[in-house]
Amino acid sequence: MEAPSIHEANKHKKLGGRTMEIVRIGVTQPYDVLIGRGLLKEADKHLYPFVADKKVLIMTDDTIMKHGYLNQISEKLKTTAGAIHTISFQPGEEQKSMENVTRLVGHLADLNFSRQDVIIALGGGVIGDLAGFVASIYLRGIDFIQIPTTLLAAIDSSVGGKTAVDLPQGKNLVGAFYHPRLVLCDVDSFQTLEPHIFEDGCSELIKYGMIMNPRLLSELMDRTTPLQATDEELVEIVKECVEMKRKVVLEDEYDHGLRQLLNYGHTLGHAFEQCSQYQISHGRAVALGMSVFLQMADKINQLDDHYREQFDALLHQYHLLAEKYDYTAEELSKAMINDKKRRNSTITIVLPIAFGKCDLFQYPIDEFLSWFNEEWQKYEVYS
Ligand SMILES: NC(=O)c1ccc[n+]([C@@H]2O[C@H](COP(=O)([O-])OP(=O)(O)OC[C@H]3O[C@@H](n4cnc5c(N)ncnc54)[C@H](O)[C@@H]3O)[C@@H](O)[C@H]2O)c1
Ligand SMILES: [Zn+2]
């Protein structure tokens, strides 16, 4: 199903449409994604069916806490929930660790959390991935709710049920498919994001455009100013992405086929993240991965010469391709073949076949690595 255009949908809203959009994710245990403005102010109303009289552990990070979101949610739920506990981590990818998983399940046991109780992930993709994984294994699974506070988490990580933590050997190597019971996305919370964090989310937005939505890609390119955290259209944009994700997840919940399209830029992106010890953000790593793989695709899919220039110009608008990182093809290759896309002696990669359309390709690992090596030597960032 083709998602509605940003502009069309916005017109609708101005004509007096709803202020809260609801996307239902119809997996075995279906759940709603609520997207709107001012939703945190009425969190009690939306969360009531999931938290009433239950013990609640709200997980967040220190930056989110400093912005007052943790207090706001705790205050709202204090008369509804049976008991509220909170835990905050330092921000950063390094929190997605087995050490934190062990610490958190122990904490839940100390608090006597039962199968009836619930975890709330209040934050970006890091908190969402960690909280979701802990929820999936504690007592063989307890409920959890996602309250995404970054654009990236709203359009990607909070929906679809992938949860994971990292190992020293690689990113997201331990995890589970485990869906939340509800996703509550208040786009007003993006207003406190640092611009570079908002831009990281735009990388996944551009990814959606490139893999399956040429119209979204052109709309992003045609904008007179880059999308901002304060833009009115954000509700519609988040909804459009969540609908695309829903479509992909419903067709391939366990990532055996179509869902792998969402990994465009990620095989190499994860390698950049790992080689930099997670100093390169996920959004920027993925942007660079998309750009390099577009160059690789040029060769085999014979794309129009202008595609890469146009695509890189869009990535530049969001400051996503600021520098060329100094990693050798060897270091990156080693990290890439540890990635989950490896299947025995072959690797599945996502490559564009047109501007706004990608497909999956399977290559013998040796062939892929020698091809990557060649392209990485030639890779240059257009500025
Ligand atoms: N599970 C999935 O399907 C999936 C999909 C995509 C990405 N991911 C994962 O998501 C992670 C990246 O997520 P992210 O980019 O949201 O990173 P993040 O969770 O580290 O958040 C980025 C920064 O923004 C700050 N922040 C969050 N909300 C804020 C707010 N409202 N105001 C001010 N600051 C705020 C955080 O403190 C943090 O410093 C990666 O670990 C990636 O692997 C998972
Ligand atoms: Zn991603």
Average pLDDT for residues 25-42, to the nearest whole number?
A: 96
Please state the atom number of ligand 1 nearest to the C-alpha of residue 69. Answer: 31
Please state the atom number of ligand 1 nearest to the C-alpha of residue 163. Answer: 1
Identify the sign of the CA torsion 44, 47, 53, 59: negative
> Is residue 4 predicted with pLDDT exceeding 50?
no
Which pLDDT tens digit goes with each residue over 242-274?
A: 999 999 999 988 888 889 999 999 999 999 999
Please state the atom number of ligand 1 nearest to the C-alpha of residue 190. Answer: 31
**What pLDDT, on a 0 to 100 scale, did the predictor assign at position 383?**
58
CATH 1.20.1090.10 domain extents, the chain: 195-228+264-378
**What pLDDT, on a 0 to 100 scale, did the predictor assign at position 342?**
61
Average pLDDT for residues 15-28, to the nearest whole number?
A: 79
> Is residue 16 predicted with pLDDT exceeding 70?
no
How far, in Å, from the CA of 228 to the mean position of ligand 2?
20
Architecture of the CATH domain 195-228+264-378: Up-down Bundle (1.20)
337 against 234, higher pLDDT = 234
Which pLDDT tens digit goes with each residue over 190-218?
A: 999 999 999 999 999 999 999 999 999 99
Which pLDDT tens digit goes with each residue over 331-351?
A: 999 999 876 556 678 999 999
Please state the atom number of ligand 1 nearest to the C-alpha of residue 129. Answer: 1
Which pLDDT tens digit goes with each residue over 261-318?
A: 999 999 999 999 999 999 999 999 999 999 999 999 987 777 887 888 999 999 999 9
**What pLDDT, on a 0 to 100 scale, did the predictor assign at position 3?**
38
**What pLDDT, on a 0 to 100 scale, did the predictor assign at position 343?**
62
How far, in Å, from the CA of 335 to the mean position of ligand 2?
16
Query: Ligand 1 pocket by C-beta < 6 Å: which residues?
Result: 61, 63-64, 67, 91, 93, 96, 123-127, 129, 149-150, 152-153, 156-157, 160, 162, 172, 189, 192-193, 197, 200, 282-283
> Is residue 232 predicted with pLDDT exceeding 80?
yes
Residue nearest to atom 44 of ligand 1 (CA): 157
**What pLDDT, on a 0 to 100 scale, did the predictor assign at position 10?**
38
> Is residue 2 predicted with pLDDT exceeding 60?
no
Look up the CATH number of domain 6-192.
Answer: 3.40.50.1970
How far, in Å, from the CA of 362 to the mean position of ligand 1?
30
Which pLDDT tens digit goes with each residue over 71-116?
A: 999 999 999 999 999 999 999 999 999 999 999 999 999 999 999 9
Query: For residue 327, what pLDDT band results from cuts at 50, 70 and 90?
Result: very high
Q: How many CB atoms lie within 10 A of CB 194?
A: 10
User: Lowest-pLDDT range, 49-53, 321-325, 344-348?
Assistant: 321-325
How far, in Å, from the CA of 286 to the mean position of ligand 2?
7
The average confidence (pLDDT) of the chain is 91
> Is residue 65 predicted with pLDDT exceeding 70?
yes
Which pLDDT tens digit goes with each residue over 112-168?
A: 999 999 999 999 999 999 999 999 999 999 999 999 999 999 999 999 999 999 999
Please state the atom number of ligand 1 nearest to the C-alpha of residue 162. Answer: 1
CATH 3.40.50.1970 domain extents, the chain: 6-192
